[in-house]
Amino acid sequence: MKLHPQQAPLYGQCLITVRLNEEEEGEEDVEYFLLFAGSTQRHLSSTLRTSRDTLQALCPAHDCSETVQISLCSVGPTVAGAPEGQGSSAGCVTQLTQQSFCFVQDQAFDIAQFLVSAAGRADSLEGALQLDECQIPVEAWERLDQGLEHALQHLTLPPGWSLLGGRDRGGAELVPQETLLHFAARRGLARLADFLLEQPAAGEALRLDNRQGHTPAELAALRGHTHLSGVLTRATTEERGERVTERGTDGGTDGGFALDARVVCHLPDLNTHTLTVDTRPGREPPTLQHAVKLHRYWSCRLQAEGVSSLKLQSDWRWTQPGSVDRETQNRPAARTQRRRRRRRRRRRRRRRRRRETEIQRAPQNNRPWAPGPTTEGVTGG
């Protein structure tokens, strides 16, 4: 196979194209997966077959900069008559070829780390104004905007983090200062601004003037970013930032990697799915066959739940290749199982009450256990 590109940023989200050679081309009913094997994480991604010899997949996010091994795997047709609902009806899984792939820390990731550390520190963000003197092209800022959004979603924010620094400011009055929203508004970074509006203290940052006396919305208008100015103005009215929860303490969206496994649906890009497993020292990762079964099972669960990602419990067990243990299911699945059990118990109780009512209403001589005529007190004639 031939991979393009052969490296990706840590936050992934880039399109990977795979060219198959003649030996790797299978029939139309053959399914292909890409297995990314790193030192602490493994990702199994489904692919979209755009032609007989071309596959496409969306690169997953990774937890560290390193060179990983990508394996191209093929899965034969589904076995007829396999049990439904287990996601385990995969055909023969074959590892075809292997190639190196690099995850790197790019400029967007570096800037994202800087922005997280600079929140609430006016001196740091004032220093970022020097970027305006670099004459960076508009196209470069547009590319950076998308990368910053993905990188910030990938990062784990510190506990208590907000757009104005730490959560505990002791009731001190805010002084005019440059904030992350000012940073985004000044450069027209709409996607970055949309991410920041969902973070703690966004409502206060929207109303805060910088040292020149401009709010983020006013600054965007002065710089000619009309659409972004309108978004910030509406957000100021709605005060979206006051209704969000602290992201740093609940694991974030896809960042943090605190859980053992998770599955993500790449919509609307390719409608492919990625199963990510955190590996631990002394703990064997799932086999390729088992990983494909889990991938199919959780992909179906994503579609059934109508969500784009699921995080599995930290005590997830990989020792049951035939099915998924009820105790290892995610919380929505466990709630569904509990509701089903309660409904079964209620049906049994209703049937039992109906039987008791019918028995009470039946004539005594028709009851199956009704006593027969007694001979007590009968004397011979």
- What are 36-45's pLDDT values in tens digits? 999 989 999 9
State the span(s) of the chain assigned CATH 1.25.40.20.
107-243
Question: Is the preceding peptide bond at 268 cis, omega within 30 degrees of 0?
Answer: yes
Pick the more confident residue, 314 or 56.
56
pLDDT above 60: residue 74: yes
Q: What pLDDT, on a 0 to 100 scale, did the predictor assign at position 217? A: 94
Supply the CATH classification number for the domain 2-106+254-324: 2.60.40.10
| Tokens coding 101 | 């792939």
Mean of the per-residue pLDDT values of the chain: 76
**What is the separation, in whole angstroms, between the first and last Cα of the chain?**
108
pLDDT above 80: residue 246: no
Pick the more confident residue, 315 or 307.
307
Q: What pLDDT, on a 0 to 100 scale, did the predictor assign at position 303? A: 78
Q: What pLDDT band is residue 260 in, cutting at 50, 70 and 90?
A: low
State the span(s) of the chain assigned CATH 2.60.40.10.
2-106+254-324
Of 213, 135, 144, 146, nearest to 178 by C-alpha is: 213
Q: What pLDDT, on a 0 to 100 scale, did the predictor assign at position 249? A: 34
pLDDT above 90: residue 67: yes
Scored b (16 or more CB within 10 A) or e, 249-284 reads eeebbbbbbebbbbbbbbeeebebbbbbbbbeeeee
Do residues 192 and 148 touch, judged by C-beta distance below 8 A?
yes
| pTM across the whole model | 0.69
Q: What pLDDT band is residue 218 in, cutting at 50, 70 and 90?
A: very high
pLDDT above 60: residue 330: no
Q: What pLDDT, on a 0 to 100 scale, did the predictor assign at position 99? A: 94
Q: What pLDDT band is residue 131 in, cutting at 50, 70 and 90?
A: low
Fold of the domain built from segment(s) 107-243: 1.25.40
Of 182, 193, 186, nearest to 152 by C-alpha is: 193
